[in-house]
Amino acid sequence: MDTIQSLRGMNDIKDSDAELLSYFLRQSTDIAIKHGYSYISTPILEQTALFQRSVGDSSDIVSKEMYRFTDKGDNDVCLRPEGTASIVRSFIEKKLDRAGGTHRFFYHGAMFRYERPQKGRLRQFHQFGCETFGEDSCMEDVFVIDLLGKILSSVGISYDIYINSLGCEDCMPIYKQNLIKKLQTISLCEDCSRRIATNPIRVFDCKNKTCQDKLKTVDKITDNLCETCHGDFEAVALALDNLGIKYYINKNLVRGLDYYTKTAFEFVSHDIGSQNAIAGGGRYDRLVAHLGGRQRSAVGFAIGVERLLELIKLPDRKRTIWYMGATSPQALKLLSQIVSARRDKDIVMTDYKSRSFVKHISNATKKFATNIAIIGDKELANGQVWTKDFMKNEENLVDISLF
Ligand code: HAM
């Protein structure tokens, strides 16, 4: 019979990768909580309209990459391609948009995009993200960039930061109109020609070398910001300088999702392959209102966890792994007590049957235990446990009360 395999672009995360993933989630969760974020979990399945209205109908994510179907209740649904839209939906649904104040959420989980799989580009991948609502000062953008850097540094990852400003509802529409006029005079690839009609700024993201060369002389939004956006962009840059955070301004950085306003950023690693954007985010001040809530400023980021796995450096922490066994049926009862108590401190493997001393030693070696503890009739009578530390090659008889 044919064996059943996982779908293309959808991987099991196991063994050392699973250890790296859980280490990363522990670190990022801890740092996010210390920065005032609380955990939120939203459903993997959402109404398709949520992403059409937020990420945007014209984006590649929505127009080409959705896992979309009609469910048994005749609802048009899809697997979430990203987390931000769901957090905004939940924020509005809980009426937090009316509550005032600042709200900070972090989340992690699987996202789905029907892309062409390659190294670092999957159809099911995981993100860790943070979103702040209700803070319109651009200093929050700096706070968020700093936080993202701290999370990556905490797991030993180095990166370059690229920033840009995508303007606001005052300057972006005027810029777009002028851009369309300009683009109509240049011959670009098929994809770019389509984008002129749908979302012209996306042409700056084109990977085609000829398009890139032709677009070099075309005016960028960064040089056409209104006074407020320009002032905010300068303030963000200055605050990053003050914090000693190094960054590059990339005027071609337009992001693949339509909801951004003002600050946009990406963190890039030069130690992985071509899919080197390890995190991205920015400000999206219009999205809450666009999804039916009251106007609330928002800014956030998401990290692509799979792209980090080969970069994460686990701390050089020696773990104690016990193997514990009994050599008589009478000793088994006491064994179960010491196993349970020791599990509060260390990893403990055991054997539920009594076996010979030699068999226990051989089992412990096969299971790569660092320490072994054995109780037999003699030890039971003396209230002791025989132990050996394989790393130090040290044997001891320890009082059970002290073990
Ligand atoms: P994004 O740039 O689409 O932004 O995704 C964030 C990160 O997810 C990327 O930088 C990348 O590391 C990872 N990623 C994206 N697609 C894939 C894929 N197919 N395979 C593996 N990793 C991938 C967002 O999703 C926004 N929601 C970020 C955000 C939060 N903006 C504001 N708040």
Q: What is the pLDDT of residue 357?
A: 96
Which atom of ligand 1 is the closest one to the Cα of 123?
19
What's the one-letter identity of residue 96? L
CB 313 within 8 A of CB 155: yes
Rounded CA-CA distance 125/210 in Å is 31
Calculate the average pLDDT of the chain: 96
- Assess whether pLDDT exceeds 80 at residue 317: no
Does residue 256 have its Cβ closer than 6 Å to ligand 1? yes
Cβ atoms < 10 Å from Cβ of 292 = 12
Which atom of ligand 1 is the closest one to the Cα of 113?
19
Rounded CA-CA distance 344/259 in Å is 47
Rounded CA-CA distance 356/327 in Å is 5
Q: What's this model's pTM, rounded to 2 decimal places?
A: 0.89
The stretch 206-218 carries a mean pLDDT of: 92
Which atom of ligand 1 is the closest one to the Cα of 302?
28
Does residue 56 have its Cβ closer than 6 Å to ligand 1? no
Tokens of 322: 């016990």
Cα 301–Cα 303–Cα 305 angle in degrees, nearest 5: 165
Q: What is the pLDDT of residue 361?
A: 96
Rounded CA-CA distance 129/111 in Å is 12
CB 144 within 8 A of CB 130: yes
Residue spans of beta strands (DSSP E) within 209-297: 248-249, 261-268, 277-283
Q: Which helix (H) or strand (E) holds 334?
A: helix 329-342
Rounded CA-CA distance 359/177 in Å is 79
What sign has the CA pseudo-torsion 352, 356, 361, 362? Answer: negative
CB 174 within 8 A of CB 229: no
**Percent share of the chain, pLDDT over 70:** 100
Helices 15-34 & 139-154 angle (0-180, nearest 10)? 140
Domain with CATH 3.30.930.10 in the chain: 15-171+225-308
**Could you tell me where the DSSP H helices lie in 94-170?**
139-154
Q: Which helix (H) or strand (E) holds 195?
A: helix 190-198
pLDDT 10s digits, 78-134:
999 999 999 999 999 999 999 999 999 999 999 999 999 999 999 999 999 999 999
Q: From ligand 1's centre to the CA of 138, what distance in Å?
A: 22
Does residue 115 have its Cβ closer than 6 Å to ligand 1? yes
Does residue 171 have its Cβ closer than 6 Å to ligand 1? no
Cβ atoms < 10 Å from Cβ of 29 = 16
Does residue 283 have its Cβ closer than 6 Å to ligand 1? no
Homologous superfamily of the 321-402 domain (CATH):
Anticodon-binding domain (3.40.50.800)
pLDDT 10s digits, 4-46:
999 999 999 999 999 999 999 999 999 999 999 999 999 999 9
pLDDT 10s digits, 339-394:
999 999 999 999 999 999 999 999 999 989 999 999 999 999 999 999 999 999 99
Does residue 129 have its Cβ closer than 6 Å to ligand 1? yes
Does residue 285 have its Cβ closer than 6 Å to ligand 1? no
Q: Which helix (H) or strand (E) holds 386?
A: strand 384-389
Backbone angles phi, psi at 367, to 5 degrees: -90, 10
Record: fold of 15-171+225-308 = BirA Bifunctional Protein; domain 2 (3.30.930)
Q: If pLDDT is split at 50, 70 and 90, which confidence band does 1 have?
A: confident
The stretch 238-253 carries a mean pLDDT of: 98
Q: If pLDDT is split at 50, 70 and 90, which confidence band does 318 have?
A: confident
Rounded CA-CA distance 209/314 in Å is 39
Rounded CA-CA distance 7/356 in Å is 46
Domain with CATH 3.40.50.800 in the chain: 321-402
Q: What is the pLDDT of residue 80?
A: 98
Residue spans of beta strands (DSSP E) within 166-309: 248-249, 261-268, 277-283, 298-304
- Assess whether pLDDT exceeds 90 at residue 54: yes
Distance of CA 159 to the CA centre of its chain: 15
Q: From ligand 1's centre to the CA of 231, what distance in Å?
A: 28
pLDDT 10s digits, 32-43:
999 999 999 999
